[in-house]
């Protein structure tokens, strides 16, 4: 670690200790006041167990064998996540009743509520992992400790994305890691106790395995891909199709390009993808109880209107009674899933930050599309894979996100790193083209 970073960390620690010592009484009162919704009999003890684990992870990172460049960035990001997890999150917890309280309360029971692992049962997965951490991992019966550990899981997911980018580009510049980890929505929603950090971890593992496989085509990397898909699918069953099909396209395009196959191979690849997609969609329709077109339309309508509650709820989704209505609404819903809320649509602090972030994201995506040779991007296997991944995700969440713009911000955590990776890789390819000239 460089001397500047060491001096900065020491100075920050000293200033933090002075600040905490000077305002300790006020800070303790604030912690207790903001934690009034947390189902814990001793909020302060609960909080300081969380602080202990945050410090423990800091020293684990500090004395790890990680690449020194990565370690410096990782420590800075971890301190930022701790500030959000144990600081900014207090404001959020003070204002809202959260699913996280249920996870903690269920996990605090000495008797586990074990239902087994099943696709789409994210609540059971989070509760079971939390129970294991408390009663077998002996982390302490602490909501904040669980939150810190899930925050680290979310950070590891982002780190897998970064390692995939490094493998593709050969560029170890930590700026890419900072962009991925400190993007506001990623930083906040990957720091909660809930499904989101676990889902992000699974998708990050999937991305790492897929990018490594694309470069080296070794069987071991398929293990990462399958593990990542399995974790994400345990939380939401539809991720089986969202993640599997783009990767199959990546595999087939890679093999076709390297073997220089002719038209017969192209036809075989096309029908192979259709067959695989049909199988995946069959699994998905069974899990969603949508056995035919009528049931599929009915299920889409039910799911689309199941999020219309809370302060960020809006009434923008019409009642779907036909396939034509679904297709007509899709473009509007896709834009909403990827780029809303916009400034002024959700009138609170979190909504303002999300709105400004989305404006910046639209700017980055417009630069990518218009200045990064988008047509050339789609001709490559990686470009097709990432673009198809974003399209499939947004096509599904087009009928979930528009009903509640607050929830839309949280849902987008799963695809936002993929969008950022696409922007990073687009710039990398543009720089390569300029160097070639």
Q: Is the per-residue pLDDT at 302 higher than 90?
A: no
With respect to residue 343, please indicate whether it lies within any of the assigned structural domains: yes
| Chain CA centroid to CA 84, Å | 16
Domain that holds residue 411: 288-436
- Predicted local distance difference test score (pLDDT) of residue 306: 56
Q: What is the mean pLDDT of the chain?
A: 80
Domain boundary among 120, 154, 189: 189
Across 408-432, average pLDDT: 86
Between residues 109 and 370, which one has the greater pLDDT? 109
Dihedral sign from CA coordinates of 433, 435, 436, 437: positive
pLDDT at 195: 93
Whether residues 11 and 157 fall in one domain: yes
Domain annotation covers residue 308: yes
Section 226-237 average pLDDT:
91
What pLDDT was estimated at residue 84?
A: 93
Binned at pLDDT 50, 70 and 90, residue 224 comes out as very high
pTM of structure: 0.85
Q: Is the pLDDT of residue 260 over 50?
A: no
Please identify, among 149, 165, 189, the residue that sits at the C-terminal boundary of a domain: 189
pLDDT confidence band for 261 (50 / 70 / 90): very low
Q: Is residue 275 part of a domain?
A: no
* Angle made by CA atoms 179, 388, 269, in degrees to the nearest 5: 140
Task: Quote the pLDDT of residue 323.
Answer: 67
Output DSSP code: residue 302.
Answer: H
Q: Do 21 and 163 fall into the same domain?
A: yes
Burial category of 260 from C-beta neighbours within 10 Å (exposed 0-12, middle 13-18, buried 19 and up): exposed
> 18 pLDDT band (50/70/90 cuts)?
very low
Buried (b) or exposed (e) across 134-144, using 16+ Cβ within 10 A?
bbeeebbbbbb
Domain assignment present for 247? no
Whether the bond between 341 and the residue before it is cis, its omega within 30 degrees of 0, is yes
**What confidence score (pLDDT) does residue 432 get?**
63
Give residue for tokens 């951490």: 133
Residues 299, 295: Cα–Cα separation, whole Å:
6
Model pLDDT, residue 436: 47
Per the structure, the count of domains in the chain is 2
- Which two tokens mark 87? 């600081």
Q: How confident is the model at residue 226 (pLDDT cuts 50, 70, 90)?
A: very high
Question: Which of 189, 209, 224 is the last residue in one of the domains?
Answer: 189
The tokens for 264 are 């017969």
The whole-number average pLDDT for the span 179-189 is 94
pLDDT band at 228 (very low <50, low <70, confident <90, very high): very high
* Contacts with 65 (C-beta within 8 Å, 6 or more apart), sequence order: none
Tell me: do 174 and 297 sit in the same domain: no
- Tell me the CA distances in angstroms from 288 to 194, 229, 244, 303, one per residue in order: 22, 18, 17, 10
Tell me the pLDDT tens digit for each residue of 68-119: 878 888 999 999 999 999 999 998 888 888 889 999 998 888 877 666 666 6
Q: Would you say residue 222 lies in a domain?
A: no
Distance of CA 65 to the CA centre of its chain: 26
Beta bridge partners of 404: 313
Residue 335 is assigned to a structural domain of this protein: yes
Query: Domain for residue 139, yes or no?
Result: yes
30-39: pLDDT as tens digits = 888 888 899 8
Mean pLDDT throughout 50-55?
A: 91
Lowest mean per-residue pLDDT among 22-36, 154-168, 288-302, 414-428: 288-302
Q: Give CA 188 to chain center in angstroms.
A: 10
CB neighbourhood size of 371 (10 A): 11
Look at residue 201 and tell me if it is in a domain.
no
Residue written as token pair 């962009």: 179
Q: Is the pLDDT of residue 408 over 60?
A: yes
pLDDT at residue 304 is higher than 80:
no
């Amino acid at each position: 670690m460089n001397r500047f970073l060491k001096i900065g960390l020491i100075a920050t620690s000293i200033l933090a200790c002075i600040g905490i010592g000077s305002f300790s009484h006020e800070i303790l009162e604030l912690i207790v006041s903001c934690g009034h919704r947390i189902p814990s009999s001793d909020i302060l003890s609960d909080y300081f167990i969380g602080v202990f684990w945050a410090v423990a992870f800091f020293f684990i990172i500090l004395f790890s064998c990680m690449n020194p460049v990565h370690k410096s960035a990782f420590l800075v990001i971890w301190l930022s996540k701790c500030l959000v997890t144990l600081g900014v999150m207090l404001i959020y917890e003070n204002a809202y009743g959260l699913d996280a309280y249920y996870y903690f309360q269920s996990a605090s029971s000495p008797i586990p509520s074990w239902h087994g692992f099943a696709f789409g049962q994210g609540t059971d997965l989070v509760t079971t992992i939390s129970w294991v951490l408390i009663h077998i991992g002996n982390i302490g019966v602490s909501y904040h400790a669980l939150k810190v550990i899930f925050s680290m899981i979310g950070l590891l997911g982002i780190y897998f994305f970064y390692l995939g980018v490094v493998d593709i580009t050969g560029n170890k510049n930590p700026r890419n890691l900072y962009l991925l980890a400190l993007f506001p929505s990623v930083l906040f929603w990957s720091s909660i106790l809930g499904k989101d950090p676990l889902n992000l971890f699974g998708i990050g593992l999937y991305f790492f395995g897929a990018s490594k496989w694309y470069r080296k085509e070794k069987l071991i990397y398929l293990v990462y891909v399958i593990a990542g898909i399995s974790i994400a699918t345990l939380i939401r069953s539809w991720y089986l199709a969202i993640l599997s099909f783009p990767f199959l396209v990546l595999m087939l395009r890679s093999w076709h390009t390297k073997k220089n196959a002719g038209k017969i191979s192209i036809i075989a690849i096309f029908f192979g993808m259709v067959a695989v997609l049909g199988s995946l969609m069959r699994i998905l329709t069974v899990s969603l109880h949508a056995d035919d077109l009528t049931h599929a339309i009915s299920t889409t309508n039910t799911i689309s209107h199941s999020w219309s509650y809370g302060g960020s709820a809006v009434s923008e989704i019409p009642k779907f009674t036909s396939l034509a209505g679904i297709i007509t609404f899709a473009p509007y819903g896709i834009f909403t899933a990827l780029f809303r809320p916009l400034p002024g649509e959700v009138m609170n602090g979190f909504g303002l930050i999300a709105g400004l972030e989305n404006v910046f994201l639209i700017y980055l995506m417009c630069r990518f599309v218009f200045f990064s040779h988008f047509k050339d991007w789609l001709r490559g296997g990686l470009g097709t894979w990432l673009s198809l991944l974003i399209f499939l995700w947004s096509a599904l969440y087009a009928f979930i996100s528009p009903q509640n713009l607050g929830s839309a911000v949280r849902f987008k955590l799963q695809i936002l790193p993929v969008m950022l990776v696409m922007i990073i890789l687009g710039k990398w390819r543009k720089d390569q083209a300029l160097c070639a000239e």
